[in-house]
Amino acid sequence: MTAETAIVFPAIVLTLAVVLAGGAAATIQVRCE
């Protein structure tokens, strides 16, 4: 595992987590309305 991978991989995982959380929040809001 290179230094670049150690930096890029967590960034990608965090981005995916944020996207999934945002999508879930949007879905919940739409269902509640």
Give the model confidence (pLDDT) of 1-33 as tens digits. Answer: 688 899 999 999 999 999 999 999 999 988 877
As for how many domains the chain has, the answer is: 1
Q: How far apart are CA 3 and CA 27, in angstroms?
A: 37
Q: How far apart are CA 23 and CA 12, in angstroms?
A: 16
The pLDDT of residue 31 is 85
Q: Count Cα atoms within 13 angstroms, Cβ side, for 33.
A: 6
User: Which residues span the domain enclosing 28?
Assistant: 1-33
The pLDDT of residue 32 is 77
Q: Which two tokens stand for residue 20?
A: 């999934």
Reported pTM: 0.64
Q: Which two tokens stand for residue 10?
A: 């967590």
